[in-house]
Structure 1
Amino acid sequence: MKLVRFGARGQERPGIVDTLGRIRDLSGHVADVSAGALSDATLRALAALDIDTLPLVPEGTRLGPCVGRVGKMICVGLNYSDHAAESNMPVPTEPVLFMKATSAIVGPDDDVHIPPGAEKVDWEVELGVVIGREARYVSRERALEHVAGYCVVNDVSERAYQLERGGQWDKGKGCDTFGPLGPWLVTRDEVPDPQALRLWLDVDGHRYQDGNTRTMIFDVATLVAYISRFMSLQPGDVISTGTPPGVGMGRKPEPVYLRAGQTMRLGIDGLGEQRQRVVAATTAEAP
């Protein structure tokens, strides 16, 4: 299944994508695509519905983040060796973890705002993993049983805030609008091998990233098991699993960063595409 959330910001409703790519309203069956709807039992019940009888959502309706009320968003750094190399950082021997503020989460096609004074805003297409069942000290062999599904993430980053301002990476990762999720939450039964997914990203039509999840250093099952040793993973939590090479910071001879007026387009095979316009934020502006 491909689950979505549609409607105005803060008023999103649950939906499902039918065989013709149209969105159908699931409000009569679940309150939201969030923690309470992500159990195996609920997903089986939704899969048994006659989707064609559900109300159609008008074409062009805004899509919100594909998961609502995310409890925490855990990100994995340097999870592709060639990205570590372009970042001039050593290949990690254990997963590098950091948190992305949930206030950064927006819809897949919402604008990305460059914070006032920011000069090094960068892109990162990533595979997102959505937890469906609590995971605490799980084994790698059982880890994927705790996954509800997968989605596209753009882990937008301000590199000066991340690397030049002291402390952890979080300052460069958690700015408002820096976490587009979606368009779809694709249930795990439709993704038999999360390590065989092509992911790509363009800026103004130029292809910067073109990778595959098979080249991850730590695969999805390893990440779920590893993270569950340090914190319990709850339904609705999102893990962003790292980016392949091609980020702006790694461009030679000079880095390339986003500017207001540009457009990012990114996607993962089978998980859909995002499109974001880059705009300049102001101190008085809400995203």
Structure 2
Amino acid sequence: MEIASLKTVLLVQSQGSIAAAARALDLDPSSVSRIVATVEADLGVRLFQRTTRRLTVTEEGQVFLTRLAPMLEEIEAAQEDARGLRSKPTGLLRLTASVAFAHHMILPLLPAFQELYPDISIDLQSSDANLDLVEHGIDLAIRLAPAPTGDLVSTRLMKTRYHVVASPNYLDGRAGITKPTDLEQLNCIRFALPGLRDRWMFQSGASAPFEVPVRGDLRISNALALRRAACMGLGVAMLADWLIQDDLRDGRLVALFPDFRCAATEFETAAWALYPNRAYLPQKVRVMIDFLRSNMRTAVG
């Protein structure tokens, strides 16, 4: 049995269907079905029970696949060591991040990454939905959160901080905006995302945090569009430092309360690299994580 065929069988198990595995591999489902059938014929046992509606692992298949997964990881690691790929990583790297983070933080870094690692090709899937890594065959996800949850391995790439900002033309004629409670009288542009409330949190120094209710006539679910709306003077917004640092420097946006920490949910937030929980981390993923961690910290100062 070929290693590629065995990896395909494991992918069918993790994806839960032949169709899903075929999408992850960019193959026709009939091709994946033939691979599974060939492995089963070589073993002399049926790995999966297949119907028109579902696929389940047989008892014999569970025994085989449970022992197979760590063995394949060891084989891949040994192959990389033998071929010297630890100094020359290769292969297709599937990466996902939010639309704004992919556009503003990852894309500008890709030319330098590809110059360092010309044998790695990248499939960047930008989405504001948290794509399932196993279902979509993704090697690495970049998520913005206070702390990641779930069974994925995570490493912090950089800290993030949020600012309440507005454009100079929106502030023109609106004097006396000096404290967060003044937001109650302003038009606030809010994120239309699950879990975000109509209250923003603030804290000054070591004092107790407090909340300010915010209201407005515009909700936006994409950070790039939210930033554009703030620059156009449509209202006040809370945006991440990595997204608006150039706008603050060039005067397109003004930070309203620089002496206060602010947040929509929690003050301590970061950009995290997440990858499937397994003993062996492919070199292509490792070098991308190291590259992003180093260059993102430089990019945001």
Q: Same fold (TM over 0.5)?
A: no
**Which structure is richer in relative contact order (CA contacts within 8 A, separation 6 or more)?**
1
Normalised by the size of structure 1, how large is the TM-score?
0.23
Larger helix fraction of residues: 2
TM score, norm. by length of structure 2: 0.22
Q: In proportion to residue count, which structure has more strand?
A: 1
